[in-house]
Amino acid sequence: MRLRLLWFGRTSRSPWETQVQDYIKAVHRRWPAEDIPLKPDARGRDADPGAALRREAERIFEKRPRDFRLVALDEGGHEFTSTEFATRLQSFETGPASGLLFVIGSDRGLSPELLSKADLKISLSRMTLPHQLARLLLWEQLYRATDILSGGRYHRA
């Protein structure tokens, strides 16, 4: 199984970038992992935010391999414990999809159309998080999942 994270923003401005890169390398030991920043749509986003979200969704679908499951991060999504998340990821390993495409929206969120097509919606918190912090938390939880599934000592249940 491969993992790909698409998110809207810039890496160079994040104070957590080094930590994110460390988690990606650690996750990559179990699952090939990619982290791909996308530039938020700027065309008329204040005048028509819905259109901007639809254009961002189109870019996400263009970068989605056909056989990848779509996992959208959304504050209204399912909340997992770390162990439940690891178990869910393990179930995807044995399924028909060759990978998971995680998506973190721009400051406007994700389009309703994209959310309706997501195979899974997850929430890292019921609070709204800055996308850079959500990205860090997701990569940490993906790393924690690899540790749980391999019987490591990082996760203390």
Per-domain residue ranges for the chain?
Answer: 2-150
Q: Give residue 31's Cα distance to chain centre.
A: 14
Class of domain 2-150: alpha beta
For the chain, 157 residues long, give each residue's pLDDT as a single digit of tens: 999 999 998 777 778 899 999 999 999 999 999 999 999 888 766 778 889 999 999 999 999 999 999 999 999 999 999 999 999 999 999 888 899 999 999 988 999 999 999 999 999 998 888 888 999 999 999 999 999 999 999 988 7
| Rounded (5°) CA angle 61-95-75 | 50
137 in helix, strand or coil? helix
Would you state the torsion angle of the CA atoms of residues 137, 140, 142, 144, taken in this order, to the nearest 10 degrees? -130
0.85 surpassed by pTM:
yes
CB atoms closer than 10 angstroms to residue 126: 9
